[in-house]
Amino acid sequence: MLDKRFVLVSGKGGVGKSAVSAGLALLGQRRGLRVLAMEMGSPGGLSSHFGSGPLEFEPQELRPGLHAMQMVRSDALLEYLALQLGVKGITRFGPFARAFDALATTAPGIREIITIGKAIWEVREDRWDVVIADAPPAGQIGSFLRAPLTISELVPSGRIRTQAETMKDMLGDPELTALVLVGLPEELPVTETEETLDWLAKEDVVAPPTVIANRVLDELTDRDTPPGPVGEAAQLHRSLWAEQQVWLERLPPDHTLPYFHGLFTPGEVAARMADELEVIT
Amino acid sequence: MTRTVLITGAGGVGKTTVAAALGVKAARSGLRTLVVTVDPARRLATALGVEELGNEPQPHSDEPDLWAAMLDASASWRAVATRHAEPEVAMRLADNEFFRAASEHFPASQSYAAADQAATFVQAQAWDLVIVDTPPSGGGIDFFAAPAQMADLVGGRLLRWITGGPLPGRRAFYNLAAKPVLRIADSVLGSDLLERVAEFLLDLRTTYDGVAQRGREIERVLGAASVFVVTTSDPAPVREAIKFYRELPGLAVSPAAVIFNRVLPDSWAEATAPEGTSIALEQNLARWSAETLRQRDTREEFSSRYGAHIATIPWSPTPPTDLDGLGRLLDDASLPWEAVGIDAA
């Protein structure tokens, strides 16, 4: 995954998407890559795993070689207007910016293309070897990946259409862009991952994703069940393991990540995640 | 008088199971109870006796006082148009590409649809208790903000901002094409996109009075509801749960309780394996004991920081999907039953 320039990490909410993103970013940094980690959704998940304060739109260096940023749509829009269209002197809260932001809420594909466009802009920068995006959840990732196509269909001409074509090519290039879908071996996450996989196969906007099952328990080979907490814990573990097997068989993942028992801080989780990802990537 | 209970929290924490369990418990205590859910797991839908999407409550065949409805949120935007616009405008809206896109992508639309439908059930006064399993989008918080956001969207915010003044008529809008904002937008987006957006918004705007009035009704109904926040002990859902304690007081009442699902028994916290236990089992106890401690710390911090009433549901490898199992699930949860109108004894 880290040999690509752009890695999007998605999955149903609550499955550990941010932890995997943070782990991949830390692993990239350990390997000496210049990494930009990008929080594309609502703030909080990624920054907590880096143990940093709230992230800003401007990438900040959290440790040598690792930068992180928070996507802010209004900032991305202003940057786009200034850098790509040469429209200067627009303030963030001026009527122009507000009008565009309102348009972005209404017209399909616009708000998504501003976000994904900013990400792709960073991918093209020589500053980074890899951009790792804590992407929108599985339920929304489709509209982001499809945004360039939506724009092409909707807007017959104009500069944004030309740029949409370039973005489409970059997202579709398997040498450049990778999608990682994180899931859990449970009913609803598996069902949702299957739906996302079906959609991706149909739309063909990005190379087939890498599917990672998170919080996978190992098998407890000792079949003994003594009285008290020892036996109770063994029984719970074995039943959870058996239930997980059902869903792992239904949707065999490309990789599995273990359950991290008793880890307290998101920072500890991210570091463990980087260790585990080291083995599989 | 119909009581309303809203079950909220992040996705994947067991909200629907809790809503169903509460429904069975209430029905068995003699309350005519309706459980309203969005997109439940199949096994749970079967347990509740609803197999198909539809906004019509179904009586349960085996449980006399229990009804359930599974909302079809995608159909509800269309219903908004039909209810609040002239027939001709409603048809034009339904065919409009922006309308379809907005109903798919506008984050509050699913929440608005669910809130609208739930309020309708409450106002019908046909049940003693209506339990609403809120959609997971936005962690559920936008369920409460959705009516206002919806009114804002159809209120022509875009048009007001583009023109910088009160809403113009259709003709006036076209005359504005000389404005610098529109000239630049035109060069970015191509020739007629803005015009098409404007037509859509002008149509949508005719629904404004209806939507705004309905929004205030929905807010009044939801504002009187008891709210239960469901979470696991994992950091991400806990962060969502905290949002309800920080942000909800501005929108509705404070949550009546936070329900921690998948809780490990306290007796594991300091447990050590007796002499003669195999290494595999000893290590297994050690890791689950560490997990128990982490869970306990999470609950204690939540309780002390937010003064929350904490309820717990034990971790079961296979959550119940039959009526009896659901009916027993909350027996030891120490919920504030008075908020539901169930006599705890």
Start-end of H helices in chain B: 15-28, 42-48, 74-84, 87-95, 97-105, 107-123, 142-154, 157-163, 170-175, 180-189, 193-205, 208-223, 235-247, 279-306, 323-329
- Dmax of chain A from CA atoms? 73
Same domain, B257 and B126: yes
Tally the domains of chain B. 2
Taking 60 as the threshold, does the pLDDT of residue B191 lie above it? no
d(CA A223, CA A30): 40
Check A102 against B274: CB less than 8 A apart: no
Which pLDDT tens digit goes with each residue over B53-75?
667 888 998 899 999 998 776 66
Q: How confident is the model at residue B251 (pLDDT cuts 50, 70, 90)?
A: low
pTM of this prediction?
Answer: 0.84
- Is residue B299 domain-shared with residue B165, that is, in the same domain? no
Lowest mean pLDDT among A14-18, A237-241, A265-269, B49-53: B49-53
Identify whether residues B105 and B129 lie together within a single domain.
Answer: yes
Same domain as B202, residue B160: yes
Could you tell me if B203 and B108 lie in one domain? no
Q: Residues B103, B183: one domain?
A: no
Cα–Cα distance measured from residue B134 to residue B118, given in angstroms and rounded to the nearest whole number: 10
The number of residues in chain B equals: 345
Say if CB B201 and CB B156 are below 8 A apart.
Answer: yes
pLDDT surpasses 60 at B2: yes
Interface test with B, best of A186, A236, A250 (most B CBs within 10 A): A236
Of the listed ranges B77-81, B184-188, B298-302, the one predicted with least confidence: B184-188
Is the separation of the CB atoms in B301 and A271 below 8 Å? no
Q: Which chain B residue's Cα is nearest to A158?
A: B190
**CB-closest option in B105, B139, B186 to A108:** B105
- Per the domain annotation, does B345 fall within a domain? no
B136 and B105 in a common domain: yes
Which pLDDT score, from 0 to 100, does residue B210 have? 77
Q: Is residue B344 part of a domain?
A: no
Q: What is the pLDDT of residues A50-102, one digit of tens each?
A: 988 899 999 999 999 999 999 988 788 888 777 766 666 666 656 666 666 66
Cα B307–Cα B329–Cα A13 angle in degrees, nearest 5: 65
What string of DSSP letters covers A147-199? HHHHHHHH-SSSHHHHHHHHHHHHHH-TTTEEEEEEE-SSHHHHHHHHHHHHH
For chain A, the structural domain boundaries read: 6-218+255-280
Token pair recorded at residue A7: 């890695």
DSSP 8-state code for residue B160? H
| Tokens 């159809």, residue located | B154
B70 and B44 both lie in a single domain: yes
**DSSP letters along B249-280, please?**
GGTSPPPSEEEEEEEPPGGGTT--PPTT--HH
- Residue B272 inside a domain? The answer is no
Q: Which residue in B has a C-alpha nearest to residue A186's C-alpha?
A: B12
Per-residue pLDDT band for B94 (boundaries 50, 70, 90) equals confident
d(CA B240, CA B140): 9
Residues B122 and B89 placed together within one structural domain of the fold: yes
- Look at strands A6-11 and A177-183 and give their pairing: parallel
> Which CATH number do you get for residue B312?
3.40.50.300
What is the rounded average pLDDT of the residues A18-44? 93
Answer yes or no: do B123 and B35 share one domain.
yes
Top CATH class, A6-218+255-280: alpha beta
Orientation of helix B107-123 relative to helix B97-105, angle to 10° = 80
Do the Cβ atoms of A263 and B315 come within 8 Å? no
Kindly give, in sequence order, each residue whose CB lies less than 8 Å from that of residue B325, ignoring residues fewer than 6 positions away.
Answer: none
Selecting from B12, B284, B293 the residue whose C-beta is nearest the C-beta of A188 gives B12
Measured between CA atoms, the residue of chain A closest to residue B269 is: A229
- Report chain B's mean pLDDT, rounded to a whole number: 79
B48/B80 same-domain check: yes
What does the buried/exposed string (b/e) look like for A236-260 if buried means 16 or more CB atoms within 10 Å of the residue's CB?
Answer: bbbebbebbeebbeebebebbbebb
Instruction: Work out whether the CA dihedral A16, A41, B145, B112 comes out positive or negative.
Output: negative
Percent of chain A with pLDDT over 70: 90
Whole-number Å distance between alpha carbons of A48 and A52: 6
SS3 A136: coil
Q: Do A13 and B11 touch (CB under 8 A)?
A: yes
Strand (E) or helix (H) holding A244 = helix A229-250
Residues B97, B167: one domain? no
Report pLDDT digits (tens) over B129-164: 999 988 765 545 566 666 776 666 665 555 555 444
Task: State pLDDT tens for residues A114-145.
Answer: 889 899 999 998 999 999 999 988 878 888 89
Taking an 8 Å cut-off on Cβ atoms, the answer to whether B201 and A15 are in contact is no
Which 3 state secondary structure label does DSSP give B71?
Answer: coil
CB A122 within 8 A of CB A38: yes
Q: What angle do CA B260, B263, B267 make, to 5 degrees?
A: 135
User: Domain residues for B72?
Assistant: 3-144+214-267+277-339
- A144: Cβ contacts below 8 Å, ≥ 6 apart: A40, A112, A115, A116, A135, A136
The CA distance from B188 to the nearest CA of chain A, in Å, is 5
What ipTM did this prediction achieve? 0.85
